[in-house]
Amino acid sequence: MNSGRIDGQSDLCHGSHQMLCRIPIDVRSHPCWMNWRFGCVFALMLLLKAPCGATSFDERLVAAVLMAEARGEGVIGMTAVGEVIANRARKRQLPPGLVVQQPCQFSPLNRAKPHELIMRYEKMPLYREALRIATTVVQTPAELPGLVAGADHFECIRAPIPRWARGQKSVAVVGNLRFWLLSNHHPPGGTNVPNKPNESTN
């Protein structure tokens, strides 16, 4: 009987546990290390999951947004951005697919229609992993690893500090992305204030 286990899965998990145990205790207790560890475990879980079945339009769109915003940061970076989407969806009591389509929220959708963004990225190899993250964001957001401390905004650390983040302290950094929690920031039309006309913030 097929148990659904992937060959070598047990050895891979055991080897990962041994590698983690070699890290000194004082390093393992640091918050940055904890976020990195949980992110790696979550990424490993995604890689070991069974192939995706039928997916909804919302899942495909969220996956395309993750690709557009953070594909250069890999699975962990896309997971962090997925958490931002999930956090906004929870606070606004909206589906993630609607959250990413709100005006001046995610810049890739300022320049493309939802179906165009999906078509642009769905053939790329990393889209498969983005889709798995998006499925978690849409269906079971409680299973996300908590990399961004509840953040609802993010920006590339190489970019100038956006106007909406001035005077605010970031709550997490994942790769080249910096994250903010701006729960009390509610300008008209959404939770972000563009730096300039027609410019969205994340």
Could you read off the pLDDT of 81-95 as tens digits, one per residue?
Answer: 999 999 999 999 999
- Residue 51: what residue type? P
- Residue 95: what residue type? P
161: its two tokens: 């500090």
147-166 pLDDT, tens digit each: 999 999 999 999 898 888 88
pLDDT given at position 102: 95
Do 78 and 155 reside in the same domain of the chain?
A: yes
Do 70 and 38 reside in the same domain of the chain?
A: no
- Within-domain flag for 192: no
146 is in which domain, residue-wise? 57-180
Number of domains in the chain: 2
Count, residues in the chain? 202
Q: Which residues pair with 156 in a beta bridge?
A: 177
| pLDDT band per the 50, 70, 90 thresholds, residue 195 | very low
Number of H helices, E strands in the chain: 8, 3
CA distances from 82 to 1, 4, 24, 144 (A): 36, 27, 30, 9
Distance from C-alpha of 65 to C-alpha of 108, rounded to nearest angstrom: 7
Q: Please indicate whether residue 163 or residue 173 has the higher confidence score (pLDDT).
A: 173
Do 71 and 96 reside in the same domain of the chain?
A: yes
Do 63 and 158 reside in the same domain of the chain?
A: yes
pLDDT given at position 40: 57
Q: What angle do CA 134, 144, 95 make, to 5 degrees?
A: 50
pLDDT given at position 53: 58
113-154 pLDDT, tens digit each: 999 999 999 999 999 999 999 999 999 999 999 999 999 999
- Within-domain flag for 2: no
Q: What is the mean pLDDT of residues 162-185?
A: 88
- Within-domain flag for 197: no
- Within-domain flag for 107: yes
pLDDT given at position 201: 60
pLDDT given at position 104: 87
- Within-domain flag for 188: no
Average predicted confidence (pLDDT) for the chain = 77
* Whole-model pTM over 0.75: no
| pLDDT band per the 50, 70, 90 thresholds, residue 184 | low
Do 18 and 117 reside in the same domain of the chain?
A: no
Distance from C-alpha of 190 to C-alpha of 87, rounded to nearest angstrom: 14
- Within-domain flag for 194: no
Do 102 and 42 reside in the same domain of the chain?
A: no
Do 102 and 16 reside in the same domain of the chain?
A: no
Exposure of 27 by Cβ count < 10 A (0-12 exposed, 13-18 middle, 19+ buried)? Answer: exposed
Distance from C-alpha of 156 to C-alpha of 165, rounded to nearest angstrom: 12
**DSSP labels, 90-129:** HHHT--HHHHTTSTTS-GGGGSS-HHHHHHHHTTSTTHHH
Do 139 and 158 reside in the same domain of the chain?
A: yes
Distance from C-alpha of 57 to C-alpha of 63, rounded to nearest angstrom: 10
Do 72 and 133 reside in the same domain of the chain?
A: yes
- Within-domain flag for 201: no
8-63 pLDDT, tens digit each: 444 434 444 443 444 444 434 445 545 555 555 555 555 445 444 568 999 999 99
Do 63 and 42 reside in the same domain of the chain?
A: no
Do 32 and 98 reside in the same domain of the chain?
A: no
Do 25 and 78 reside in the same domain of the chain?
A: no
- Within-domain flag for 129: yes
User: How many of the other CB atoms lie within 10 Å of CB of 114?
Assistant: 18
